[in-house]
Amino acid sequence: MKRERGIILIVVMWGLMVLMVLAAELARTVRLEALTTDVYQQEVSAYYLATAGLQRALYQIVRAQQQGRNMLNMPGGLFGQPPGGFGQQFGLRPPGMLGQQTAEQQLDVWVRGDGRWKQEEFASGGYWVRVVDEAGKINLNQVDEATLRQTLANLGFDMESAQLLTDTIQDWRDPDPLARIHGAENDYYLSLPVPYPAKDGPFDSVEELLLVHGVTPALFYGREGPALRELFTVYSGAGGSVNLLTASPLVLRAVLGLDAAAVQDLVQRRSEASGANLAGLFPGGAGRGVNFGLPQIVTIESIGYLNESSVTRRVSAAVQRVGANGFRFVRWKDRIDGGETPVPQEG
């Protein structure tokens, strides 16, 4: 009888132990599901904040378009800087206009298309937004071999890397199956662990560069050297030439061959110039392969964030002007990985 009682006690203890383990596992599962639900809710909130920022910028662009305002004639002069004239610079404007123009200048950072980030608080978080003129980049499908090689050299790529990228990019986009000396065609791409054919056609998106031999994610996103995603575009502007009016410091370095300090000085002087003397700021003026024009296709990139969370969400849309009062979406990206970290800039 005592032996049977001992066995029953052991069975009960084992049963209690199993129940304790199950209870602990259930508690852990519930906790993980609660955390997952919380993170998902935060990400959804960040997504809609990012979407709100994108729509906010798009509204401001369309509004400026309807009012006939652009970076050359907007209040405050080019890029929102005070235009020439002692009276205007010191606020001698018609009554009631000073505060209004200041507010418009703050909003018109999105009209310029020069890639500067703008931050606004909204609800329990906010968003960072920037508008980038696609014509202010180098067109992947139209840049010629010599210009592409020189562009990479201007950004500090060694001769071997510049030649490799030049040849592989050309092999990817040209229609023939012949590989250049440093290039790659089907023989290379079909031998990869995850094989795919060479496109032998024009790039449909900048992200296609990630499929090209020699282009790593670190190089594409700028973790190792200049970010190729910030340098190239697939949208044409003025015959594929680069718009120096909106080109970023990275593109200016690539196109003009200037060092970082000279480019920074050039960007500063560009922000203070008027339309009449703008071309004189650049070496050789508006020469071959460059132009000075108003943005026609822009990419609006928006990052939503929450004040009490580290969760963010990034979306973007390429938008083309249509007529005087319209626009159309060329491309929408519901999620972007990597990319530039916003840096607040005045102006």
* Domain definitions of the chain by residue range: 1-87+97-140+234-347
pLDDT at residue 93, rounded to an integer: 34
Cβ contact 76:103 at 8 Å:
no
Other beta carbons less than 10 A from residue 44's beta carbon? 13
pLDDT at residue 92, rounded to an integer: 28
The share of the chain scoring above pLDDT 70, in percent, equals 77
Cβ contact 128:109 at 8 Å:
no
pLDDT at residue 94, rounded to an integer: 34
Joined tokens for residue 66:
């309807």
* pLDDT tens figures, 214-262: 999 999 988 888 899 999 999 865 556 888 888 899 999 998 888 889 8
Joined tokens for residue 327:
């626009």
- Out of 3-7, 19-23, 113-117, 239-243, pick the least confident: 3-7
pLDDT at residue 287, rounded to an integer: 54
pLDDT at residue 85, rounded to an integer: 31
Mean pLDDT score, 121-146: 90
- Out of 197-206, 254-263, 277-286, pick the least confident: 277-286
pLDDT at residue 344, rounded to an integer: 55
- pLDDT at residue 210 is higher than 50: yes
Q: What is the pTM of this model?
A: 0.76
d(CA 309, CA 287): 49
More confident: 37 or 173:
173
pLDDT at residue 343, rounded to an integer: 62
Cβ contact 117:345 at 8 Å:
yes
**How does residue 76 score in pLDDT terms, banded at 50, 70 and 90?**
very low
- Residue 246 contacts by C-beta under 8 Å, 6 or more apart in sequence? 71, 112, 113, 114, 115, 132, 133, 135, 136, 295
**Average pLDDT over the chain, rounded to an integer:** 80
- pLDDT at residue 39 is higher than 90: no
- pLDDT at residue 271 is higher than 50: yes
pLDDT at residue 240, rounded to an integer: 63
Give CA separation, 47 vs 115, 180, 196, 206, 311, in Å. Answer: 21, 44, 33, 23, 10
Report the DSSP beta bridge partners of residue 311.
Answer: none
**DSSP secondary structure string for all residues of 163-217:** HHHHHHHHHHHSSS----TT---HHHHTTSSS------S--SSGGGGGGSTT--H
pLDDT at residue 274, rounded to an integer: 57
Cβ contact 128:118 at 8 Å:
yes
Q: How many residues does the chain have?
A: 347
d(CA 231, CA 250): 7
Mean pLDDT score, 25-48: 85
* pLDDT tens figures, 163-192: 999 999 999 999 999 999 999 999 999 999
d(CA 28, CA 15): 20
3-state secondary structure of 137: coil
More confident: 114 or 307:
307
d(CA 111, CA 60): 7
**How does residue 82 score in pLDDT terms, banded at 50, 70 and 90?**
very low
Give CA separation, 87 vs 90, 93, 208, 244, in Å. Answer: 5, 8, 52, 30
pLDDT at residue 66, rounded to an integer: 78
